[in-house]
A and B are shown apart, each in its own frame.
Chain A
Amino acid sequence: MKRFAWAIALPILTGLAVMPFYVSNYIITFTIQTFMWIALAESWNIISGLTGYVSFGHVAFFGTGAYTAAILISKAGWYWFPAALAGSVTAASLALIIGYPCLRLKGPYFAISMLGLNEVVRALVSYFESLTGGGSGITLSTMSSISPLYYSMGGVALAGCFITYWILTSRFGLRLLAIREDELAAEAMGIHTAALKLYAFLISAALPGIAGGFYARYVSHIEPLGTFPLLTTITMIVMCLFGGRGTIFGPVLGATLLSILQELVWTRFLFLHEAIFGAIIIFVILLMPRGILGVLQQRYRLPRTI
C-alpha cells in the first residue's frame, strides 16, 4: 500500500517541483493559492476532523500569522521567511490563550465560542492602529519573483499532510479519535482529554499561522477586512468536508477540486460564492457526511491513512 502511495506521490511532487519553470505566472499564482487552501483545510481537519471539535473561527489564526509577518517585515526589517515562521508562534500563542479555557467546554459550546473569536481578533487588530495600521492595513514592497513563495506555500501544504499522517499513525492520534468518538468514555478510560485537545488545537493553529505569514508576503498588502473574512473559514471547512474529514488526503482533494471550481466558475458569480458553499455544506452533511474519501474508505475498506 505504501509503495503504491509513493508511486503516485513521487511523480506528482516532482511535477509540482519543476512546474514553475514551465508554466505561466497565472498557473503559478493559482497553484500557490491552492497550496494555501490545502494547508488551511488540513489544519482545520486536525482539530475538527480528527478531534471532532468544530472550529468556526479558524481564520483568526491565519490572520494573526499574516499580521505578525507583515509587522515584522515592515516595522522590524525581518526577512519574510522567518517572519512567516514567527506567524506560527503568535498563532499558536493565541490558540493557547483561547484553547486553554474554551476546550474545557463540550463540543457545541466550543464551536460557538470560536464563532466569536474571529470578530474579536479583527476588532483588536483595528483597535491597535499604531501597530497594525488599523483599517488601512500594512503594505510591503513588491517581490521580484514569486517562485520562492510557491515552494514555501507548497512546503506548508506538504507539512500539513505529513503532520496529519504522523498524528494518524500515532497513539496520540488514536486518542484524538477516541475523543471524537466518545469523550466521556475516553476520559473515564484515563485519557487526559483536556491536554490532548489543546495539543491538537495548537498544531492546527500553527499551520495557518505560517500560511498566513506567506500569504502576507504574497499579496503585499493586508488589512483587517480582507484578512479575517468569515468566507475563509467557510471555504476551508467546505474543502475539508467535501474531500473527506478525518482523512489525510481528503482536505487535499477537497481543496484542489473546489479551488479549481472556484477559479473556473464562481469568480464569475462572485455574489453567489457563499450561497454555493452553503449549499455544498448542506449537501455534504446530509448526504455525504464523510466526504468523498470517507465514502470511498467505507465502500472499499481502505485504511485510515489515506
Chain B
Amino acid sequence: MTIQITGTMILQGIVSGLLAGGVYAMVALGMALIFGVMRVINIAHGTLLMLGGYTTYWLFALYGMNPFISLLVSFPLLFLVGVFLQRFFVSRVVGAPELSSLILTFGISIFLSNMAMIAWTGDYRSVEFLTGSFLLGPIAVSKPRLVTFCFALGVTFLAFFFLNKTKTGKAIRATSQHRELAQVCGINVRRIDIITFGLASGLAGVGGGLVSIMFSIFPEMGRNYVFKSFLVIVLGGAGNYLGAFLGGLILGVVEGLASLLLTAQLSEVIAYVLLVILLLVRPTGLLGGRR
C-alpha cells in the first residue's frame, strides 16, 4: 500500500518536528555548556534527563501535581544532583584526558539508569496531562507539543538571559572561552564548574519533564538523548550556544520528516548518517564555532 506524500503531510511533519526540536535544543544547550566550560562530554546527560522525567511523572502520578508546575521542582532537584556529581566525581577528571571523563560519565550513566530500572521497572510511562490537537488550517498541531515547546523556549530564554546578563552567567561564558584567562581574572573556575554542571543538569531535568508530557519515558531513554544532544551541538557548532538552539530545531524537523517518510527504525539511521556526514563536511558546525 503506497501512501501519497502530500505537501500538507510534509508541512505537518515539519511543524510537529519543530515543536519537538525545542526540547532537544534546551537539553543540548546544557550539554554544550558542560563541554564548553569543562571540556567534558557528559554521557550521563541523558540519564539526568530521565531522572527529571521520572520526577515529573511521579509528582503527577502520586500527588496529581500539574506537570508544568513540577518543573519548578525538577529543576532545583536535578540542579542539586548535578552539583553532587560534579563536586565528587566529575571534578576529578576535569583537565584529565578526555577519555577519562567520557568513560566516567558513561559509568555514572549506566549506574543511574540501572538503579532507575530497579526502582521503577522498565515500563514505558507517560504523563497524560495534555492530549489531543487543534487544527491550524490543514495542519494538526499537537497540544502537548505546542505547550512543551513554549516552555522549552521560555526556559531557554531564561538560560540565555542568565548567561548574558548576570555576573555568574558571564563568568561561565568567560570560562568556556578561555579557562586560564578567566582564572587569571579572578574567576573561581571550580565554583563555575559546579554551577555549570548543576545548571546543565537542571536544564536536562526540565527537558525530561517536558518529554514525559510529549512522549514517554523509560530508564534506558538517556542514551538516545545524549546522542541527539551531541548531534545538535555538532549541528550548531561547539561553543556556539545559539547554534545549539537552532541545531535542536533542525534535528526536530529532520526527525519529523524522517518518521513520516520512513519507518521509525530507519529514522534513527538517518540521524546517525546525518551526524557522520556533518562531521566530515563541516566539523565546526553549520554556524561555525571553535574546533
Contacts and interface: CB of A to CB of B under 8 A. Distances in A.
Touching chains A and B, CB distance < 8 Å? yes
B268 to A, nearest CB: 5
Interface in B48-79: none
Interface string A269-288: 00111110111111001100
Given A104-B280, A275-B115, A112 B103 contact: no
Nearest to A274: B114
Contacts of A282: 89, 104, 107-108, 111
Contacts of A241: 103
Interface string A284-306: 01100100000000000000000
Interface stretch (A120-128, A168-176, A209-217): A120-128
B78 to A, nearest CB: 19
B268 A119 contact: yes
Contacts of B263: 127
B104 A286 contact: yes
A105 B291 CA distance: 10
A271 B118 contact: yes
A108 B103 contact: no
Interface stretch (B130-138, B141-149, B208-216, B271-279): B271-279
B12 to A, nearest CB: 24
A140 interface: no
B107 to A, nearest CB: 3
A234 interface: yes
B92 A286 contact: yes
A279, A280, A286 — most chain B CB neighbours (10 Å):
A286
A179 interface: no
A285 B271 contact: no
Contact of B279 (A105, A111, A117, A271): A105
Interface string B182-207: 00000000000000000000000000
B227 A120 contact: no
Given A107-B99, A115-B223, A102 B107 contact: no
Contacts of A119: 223-224, 227, 268, 272
A285 B104 contact: yes
Contacts of A6: none
Interface in B74-121: 89, 92-93, 96-100, 102-104, 106-115, 117-118
Nearest to B229: A112
Interface in A34-51: 48
B227 A123 contact: no
A218 interface: no
Interface in B230-286: 230, 234, 263, 265-266, 268-269, 271-272, 275-277, 279-280, 283
Contacts of A112: 41, 226-227, 230
Given A101-B279, A101-B280, A271-B118, A54 B108 contact: no
Nearest to B103: A285
A237 interface: yes
Contacts of B230: 112, 115
A124 B263 CA distance: 11
Nearest to B270: A120
Interface string A69-104: 000000000000000000000000000001001101
B80 to A, nearest CB: 19
B269 A279 contact: no
Contact of A278 (B96, B98, B107, B275): B107
A150 interface: no
A61 interface: no
A218 to B, nearest CB: 26
Contacts of A109: 234, 279, 283
A137 B234 CA distance: 36
A113 to B, nearest CB: 6
Given A107-B99, A109-B279, A273-B114, A127 B265 contact: yes
B22 to A, nearest CB: 22
Nearest to B291: A106
B276 A113 contact: yes
Nearest to A283: B107
A286 to B, nearest CB: 6
Contacts of B111: 274-275, 278-279, 281-282
A201 interface: no
A295 to B, nearest CB: 15
B234 to A, nearest CB: 7
B234 A116 contact: no
The list of the 4 closest CB pairs from A to B, nearest first, reads A278-B111, A281-B107, A275-B114, A274-B114
Given A116-B268, A275-B114, 12 more contacts: A104-B283, A107-B102, A109-B283, A112-B227, A116-B275, A123-B269, A127-B263, A234-B110, A273-B114, A274-B113, A280-B107, A281-B107
Interface of A: 48, 52, 54, 56, 98, 101-102, 104-105, 107-109, 111-113, 115-117, 119-120, 123-124, 126-127, 230, 234, 237, 241, 271-275, 277-282, 285-286, 289
